Amino acid sequence: MLKDNLLLDSTRPFSYKKNNDVGCPEHSSEGVPSSWYALRVSYSRELKIQEALNGLGVRTFVPMMWKKCLDKQGAMERKKLVPAVGNLCFAYWTKPAIEDFIRGFGESSPVHFYWDRTAGRPLIVSDKAMDDFMKVSSTLDEDLIYITEITGKLREGQTVKVKEGPFEGVEGKVVRIRKSRRILVELPGMLAVATTYIAPEKLEILR
C-alpha cells in the first residue's frame, strides 16, 4: 500500500514560504530537465498542494474518482469527486525546484518525495507511463480500478496497445479483473489503474 511516513500535526496551518528561488519554473536550476515526480502529501492535503503548485505554474496531476457520500443530514447519497489514491500528487518540475518548494514549508513539511529505494533517489515516472496513466484516470469512469499492491500474476498478461476508443494509444498488460478484460497501466514502484472493459479487436499485441 502507499504509506505516508510523515507524522505531522494535522492542526498546523497550511502555509509555505515563497522566495525568489521558488515560485516559477523559470527560477529552476538552469539546464535541469523537468520530470514527473510523485509526491507524498500528509492528511489528505493533495488538492491543496496541487493548488499551490498550479499557482506557481507547475503542471500537476491528482487522480480523482466519484464517490458516494451522505449529505449533511446523513441520509441522502450524492456523488462527489475525491482523490482516488490518498496522499498522492504528481508534479512535472525539476528536482531542485521541488526540493525548494518542500523546504518552503519548514521543518514540518506536509509534502515529500516518494523514494525509489532501488535507484537511491526520488521516484521518477516516465513521460509515457504518466501520459497513459492520466489518459485512463481522466475518464473518471466509475468502473476504473486502482491497485496499490501489484502482484506478479497481474504482470503476466500480454503487452498490448489500444487502437481506438477513449484509451487509444495506451499501452499496458491484459488482465482479467471482476470477470472483465482490462488493460493494466502501471506506474512502476507505486500503483496501477485498470481500464474498463476493452474488446479484443481494439487491441494490438506488442509482445
pTM: 0.83
Regarding predicted confidence, which is higher, 3 or 110?
A: 110
Tell me what percent of the chain is helix, strand and coil, each rounded to the nearest 5: 20, 35, 50
Q: pLDDT tens digits, residue range 165-188?
A: 999 999 999 999 998 999 999 998
Nearest-angstrom CA–CA distance, 29 and 140: 35
Stronger pLDDT, 171 or 149, i.e. the higher one: 171
| CA 133 from centre of chain | 8
Q: Which residues contact 186 (CB under 8 A, 6 or more apart)?
A: 129, 150, 155, 172, 173, 192
Summarize the confidence of residues 189-195 as an average pLDDT: 94
37-87 residue pLDDT tens: 999 999 889 999 999 999 999 999 999 999 988 777 767 778 889 999 999
Q: What confidence score (pLDDT) does residue 29 get?
A: 53
Rounded to whole angstroms, how far apart are CA atoms 201 and 162? Answer: 9
C-alpha cell at 84: 482516488
Q: Are 144 and 185 contacting, i.e. CB atoms less than 8 angstroms apart?
A: no
Domains of the chain: 25-125 (3.30.70.940), 128-205 (no CATH)
Cell numbers at 104, concatenated: 518552503
> Is the model's pLDDT at 127 over the cut of 80?
yes
Binned at pLDDT 50, 70 and 90, residue 18 comes out as: low
Distance (Å, whole) CA 203 – CA 183: 10
pLDDT tops 70 at residue 155: yes
Burial of 115 (0-12, 13-18, 19+ CB in 10 A): middle
What are phi and psi for residue 95, nearest 5 degrees?
-60, -50
The secondary element (H helix, E strand) that includes residue 128 is: helix 127-137
**Among residues 36, 20, 38, 40, which one has the least CA distance to residue 28?**
20
Nearest C-alpha neighbor of 168 from the set 143, 133, 135: 135
- The mean predicted confidence, pLDDT, of the chain is 86
What's the rounded Cα separation, in Å, for the pair 181 and 174? 7
Mean pLDDT of 142-146: 95
What pLDDT sits at residue 170? 97
Bridge partner residues of 38 (DSSP): 90
- Report pLDDT for 172: 97
- For residue 22, give the nearest of 52, 66, 51 by alpha carbon: 52
Amino acid at the residue 21: D
Alpha-carbon 2 to chain mean position: 11
